[in-house]
Each structure stands twice: as structure tokens, then as C-alpha cells.
Amino acid sequence: MTAALLPVMPLLRAPRPACGWCRNAGAALGALVLHGLVLVGLLGQWQSSPAQEPEVRTLTTQLISLAPPAAPAPPPPEPVVVAPEPAPVKPALAPPVEPRVQPQQLEHAALARQRVAEREQKQKQERQAQEQQRLDQQRRAAAEQLAQQQAQQRLAEQQVQAAEHARQAEAAAAASRQYLPIAKEAPDYPDRALDKGIEGDCSVTYTVTPQGRVADPQVAGDCHPLFVRPSLAAAKTFRYQPRIVAGQAVAVVGVKNTFHYRIE
């Protein structure tokens, strides 16, 4: 917003009064008029000029695609320098072998081959001997193991047999102890048989009662008549340990005893 300054026209300038008070009043009035004119001009200019619309600025962008950079040009190939081919070298000629030296070399070669063959044969024999020794050791170990197993089996069988025999012997001993005689006296030799020099045997069968006594003695088999009475009398005097079954004493039937009559 601009302000216009208007110069004071000389027409409005009042005639200078003669006195000082008139001069001061005239100056103040002139100043007031001047400020009023300036204010009127400013108001008129402010009302006459319309407000300007703000300018709108638009920023326009555009996408530009750039081409990829070009690959660098390959370097120029280096020049190949072809080396000149070497001149062929002639093989050196071996000196001629004298005829007297060649047989010695052949003999040495034959001896070397023979030593190699002997060494290989010796190594082969050693390997065979080691393999045979290993097989022998395996066979001996297997035989020892088998012998140990057989010995253990025989020992086990012997133990079983011994246990069975012991059981049988214990059973037989237990059975025999059940009516084992406690008191048993020999019969008197008949005087008539002694005078006549008669000898013989007499078997007697009887029953052992639960009390351990002999009951119902009888002569079994051939017995001389002179030996019957003393044999039956002697059998009645026998005393036995009674048989115990399930905690109770039972009778034993068919016990046999043979008396031998001999003249000394």
C-alpha cells in the first residue's frame, strides 16, 4: 500500500498575519489540513484498489528414463609373440658295449632276479606258515573249548548221578532204618545137632509190629528139623525200630532173617 504526499498549494496558504499568535494558528491549521488531505487520499486509495488474489504456483515434474550406461569396450588383444621352435637335439649315442662286459651284466641281472624270486618265495612260505599256525591255534582253542564243555557236561552228569545215588541210598537207608533191629540175639545150637555134627541154615519170616516186636514167625524154605525151634525162639526175641509213616508207626510185613548154624 502506497501513500501519496501532496504538496501544499500556495493558494491555501493564508496571508501571514502581523502578530505571532496568528502565525502559530495558521501553521497549526495548515498542518491539520495537510494531515486531513493525506488521510482522505489514503482512504480513497485503499477503497479504490481491490485486494489482489494470491498467485498459485504449480510445480510440474516429469519422469525421464535414462539409457543404461554402455559397456566398456574390451581391451584390444595383446599381440601374440610366437617363439621360434628350438632346433631338434640329436640324441647322444651310447658308447658301444664291449662284448666282454655284456655277459657280466646279464649274469648280475639273473642273480638279482633270482634273489628277488627267492625273497618272494621266502615271504610266501612265511605267510603260509603264519596262516597255518593261526589255523592250528584256532583248532587247538576249539578243541580245548570242546574238551572243557565235555568235561563240564560229564561233571554235571556225575553230580546228577551222585545226587541220585545219594538220594537212593538215603531213601534205602531211611527205609532200612525204619525197622532196623535194636536187639538181636543168636539162637542156641541144638545139642543133638552138635553131637551129630549137623550144620545148616534156617530162614524165618515174620512181621515187625508198630511197637517194634516180632509177630507170627514162620520157617521159610528148607530147614533142618533140629534148627526150627531154636530159630523161631531167637526170632521172637528180636526188637526193631518201628517204621514211621506220616508221623505214625506202622507194621512191616515179610521181614526175613536167616540163621547160620556152623560148628567151629
- Report yes or no on 75 lying in a domain: no
By mean pLDDT, which of 35-39, 146-150, 178-182 is the weakest?
A: 178-182
Whole-prediction pTM? 0.34
CA-CA distance, 174 to 180, in Å (whole number)? 10
CA-CA distance, 242 to 253, in Å (whole number)? 12
Mean pLDDT of 212-216: 90
pLDDT at position 2 is 41
Residues of the chain above pLDDT 70, percent: 66
Range of the domain at 33: 1-45
Contact 208, 243 (CB under 8 A): yes
- Report yes or no on 17 lying in a domain: yes
Residue type, 57: R
Pick left, alpha or beta for residue 221 (phi over 0 → left; psi -120 to 50 → alpha; otherwise beta).
left
Q: What is the pLDDT of residues 128-137, one digit of tens each?
A: 999 999 999 9
pLDDT at position 251 is 87
CATH at 236: 3.30.2420.10
Domain ends where: 131, 149, 177? 177
Pair 240, 193 in one domain: yes
- Report yes or no on 63 lying in a domain: no
Per-residue pLDDT band for 230 (boundaries 50, 70, 90) equals very high
Residue 15 has pLDDT above 70, yes or no: no
- Report yes or no on 96 lying in a domain: no
Total domains present in the chain: 3
